[in-house]
Amino acid sequence: EIVLTQSPTTTAASPGEKVTITCLASSSVSNMYWYQQKSGASPKLLIYSTSSLASGVPDRFSGSGSGTSYSLTINTMEAEDAATYYCQQWSSNPWTFGGGTKLELK
């Protein structure tokens, strides 16, 4: 099983600040997927195939990486971005998720 480790576990950012969340895989994966989950809501697809934005996602979000190291970046933090973010891989069964990064508004 491929284990995904996210860092930081919790972070806070001020409006306009840049935020980067990292996802490290225990083995190489071909792509990474990112989801956003706001408090009390279901997860929402944010980025697929490492760097492609899902429909309706603001372009302040971006994804990058390869092999065992991937990242999600929010270029300029907005209040509505406060949420928990999860990475996910499918390169090998079982599909696994990272433990999540909680992003709070400072």
Partner 1 sequence: EVQLVESGGGLVQPGRSLKLSCAASGFTFSNYYMAWVRQAPKKGLEWVATISTSGSRTYYPDSVKGRFTISRDNAKSSLYLQMNSLKSEDTATYYCARMIYGGSNYFDYWGQGVMVTVSS
- Is 24 strand, coil or helix? strand
Q: Which residue's entry shows tokens 């406060």?
A: 82
Q: How far is the CB of 63 from partner 1 (least distance, A)?
A: 12
The correct pick among 24, 43, 62, 73 for binding partner 1 (CB under 8 A) is 43
Choices 15-23, 61-69, 74-82, 89-97 (CB under 8 A): range interacting with partner 1: 89-97
Residue with smaller CB distance to partner 1, 14 or 39: 39
Binding status of residue 42 toward partner 1 by CB under 8 A: yes
Q: DSSP strand E in 1-106: where?
A: 4-7, 10-13, 19-25, 33-37, 44-48, 52-53, 61-66, 69-74, 83-89, 96-97, 101-105
Residues that bind partner 1 (CB under 8 A): 31, 33, 35, 42-45, 48-49, 54, 86, 88, 90, 93-100
